[in-house]
């Protein structure tokens, strides 16, 4: 009678195509010889004692071992995967048993195999049905492995349904997702650049609140001395722009605020008179320029006399004057 255990192992190996020709012949011959001897009266199948570990032929070894260099050696290891010397120790591969529980059907498998992803018999399934770099991945949503392993999406893009797309609300400009509602370099559409201090407001280039575009540049007409009140209205050098009006630094509204102002050119026989209210005027005599009710402040120093209005004291003369 053929040894039942050996017959089962032979059948499994042949059914799964994982048994080599050498192993199949070895098992078949071993089984037939064993059956023939068992039919002889007084004869019994003598199994080799596994503790001795010595062999001349593969049939001398227990199930799951092969005769390698005179010694019974377990198979299914990286150095003897499916037989003596059948190496399976390269990086990224492993000696896997395709039929768990069987003493045969060992095969070198790539650890990027969807049935052996990262480890023997670790099968990828469900959403994570792809094995990428020994890890089960979902190529429908993984931005590093979008539609296929090692197929990354460009930066800022996400993976949806295996396609690299921009997140909702963003537009692909070149290879970068942009918000064309706020991006000054892509305002309203890709490549539309805002300039002159403009910002992108709901997809339209416009000056920030409180500013007006003058000669292509956003200006604050309330404080810009070169665009005071309206574009191109230039205040004199001595003036400042306050609340959209050119005036003297102390708040007096006057055309000129200093006798050194380049715009103030007094005609012959006229002098520039600096008034206490901060304004400057050209008059024949500064003392005469003081209106009734004011005080003419004279100092023997090289500057025009000043007119002191009621409530305004005369400024002190420089020391020693």
When mean pLDDT is compared across 18-22, 124-128, 209-213, the lowest value belongs to: 18-22
DSSP tally for the chain: helices H, then strands E: 2, 20
Where is pLDDT greater, at 270 or 143?
Answer: 143
Q: Residue 126 is encoded by which pair of tokens?
A: 């469900």
Mean pLDDT to the nearest integer, 122-144: 92
pLDDT band at 14 (very low <50, low <70, confident <90, very high): low
Q: Concatenated DSSP letters for 101-162?
A: T-SS-EEEEETTSTTSSSSTT---BTTB-EEETTEEE-TTT-TTSSSSTT-PPPTT-EEETT
pLDDT digits (tens, 9 = 90+) for 171-181: 999 989 999 99
Instruction: Supply the pLDDT for residue 113.
Output: 92
Q: Concatenated DSSP letters for 193-262?
A: ---TT-EEETTEEEPPTT-EEETTEEE-TTT-TTSSSSTT-PPPTT-EEETTEEE-TTS---S---TT-T
Q: What does pLDDT average to over the chain?
A: 79
Q: What percent of the chain has pLDDT over 70?
A: 73
3-state SS class at 316 = coil
- The pTM score is 0.51
Distance separating alpha carbons of residues 151 and 102, to the nearest angstrom: 38
pLDDT digits (tens, 9 = 90+) for 236-293: 888 899 999 998 887 878 778 888 777 778 888 888 887 766 778 887 776 545 667 7
Comparing CA positions, the residue from 293, 230, 282, 290 lying closest to residue 255 is 282
CB 280 within 8 A of CB 261: yes
Instruction: Supply the pLDDT for residue 1.
Output: 41
Mean pLDDT to the nearest integer, 139-160: 93
Instruction: Supply the pLDDT for residue 272.
Output: 83
Helix%, strand%, coil% for the chain, nearest 5: 10, 20, 65
Distance separating alpha carbons of residues 77 and 81, to the nearest angstrom: 5
Mean pLDDT to the nearest integer, 182-198: 95
User: Does 213 have pLDDT greater than 90?
Assistant: yes
CB 43 within 8 A of CB 51: no
Instruction: Supply the pLDDT for residue 27.
Output: 53
Query: Could you state, in order of their start, the residue ranges of all structural domains in the chain?
Result: 4-110
Where is pLDDT greater, at 301 or 175?
Answer: 175
Q: What percent of the chain has pLDDT over 90?
A: 39
pLDDT digits (tens, 9 = 90+) for 23-46: 555 555 555 544 443 444 443 434
Instruction: Supply the pLDDT for residue 43.
Output: 37
Instruction: Supply the pLDDT for residue 54.
Output: 86
The residue written with tokens 């309203």 in the block is: 188
């Amino acid at each position: 009678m053929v040894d039942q255990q050996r017959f089962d192992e032979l059948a499994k190996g042949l059914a799964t195509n994982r048994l080599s020709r050498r192993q199949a012949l070895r098992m078949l011959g071993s089984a037939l010889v064993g059956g023939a001897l068992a039919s002889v009266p007084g004869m019994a199948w003598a199994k080799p004692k596994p503790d001795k570990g010595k062999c001349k032929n593969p049939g001398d070894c227990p199930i799951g071992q092969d005769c390698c260099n005179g010694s019974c050696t377990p198979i299914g290891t990286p150095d003897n995967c499916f037989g003596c010397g059948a190496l399976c120790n390269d990086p990224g591969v492993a000696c896997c048993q395709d039929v768990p529980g069987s003493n045969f059907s060992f095969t070198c498998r790539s650890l990027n195999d969807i049935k052996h992803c990262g480890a023997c018999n670790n099968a990828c399934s469900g959403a994570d049905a792809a094995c990428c770099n020994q890890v089960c991945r979902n190529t429908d949503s993984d931005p590093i492995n979008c539609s296929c392993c090692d197929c990354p999406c460009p930066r800022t893009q996400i993976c949806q349904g295996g396609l690299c797309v921009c997140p909702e609300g963003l537009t692909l400009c070149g290879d970068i997702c942009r918000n064309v509602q706020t991006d000054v370099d892509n305002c309203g559409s890709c490549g539309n650049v805002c300039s002159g201090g403009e910002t992108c407001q709901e997809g339209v280039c416009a000056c920030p609140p409180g500013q007006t575009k003058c000669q292509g540049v956003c200006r604050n007409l309330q404080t810009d001395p070169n665009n005071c009140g309206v574009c191109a209205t230039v205040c004199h050098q001595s003036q400042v722009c306050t609340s959209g009006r050119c005036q003297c630094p102390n708040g007096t509204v006057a055309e000129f605020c200093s006798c050194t102002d380049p715009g103030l050119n007094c005609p012959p026989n006229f002098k520039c008179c600096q008034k206490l209210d901060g304004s400057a005027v050209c008059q024949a005599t500064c003392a005469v320029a003081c209106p009734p009710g004011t005080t003419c402040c004279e100092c023997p120093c090289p500057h025009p006399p000043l007119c002191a209005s009621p409530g305004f004291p005369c400024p002190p003369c420089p020391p020693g004057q």
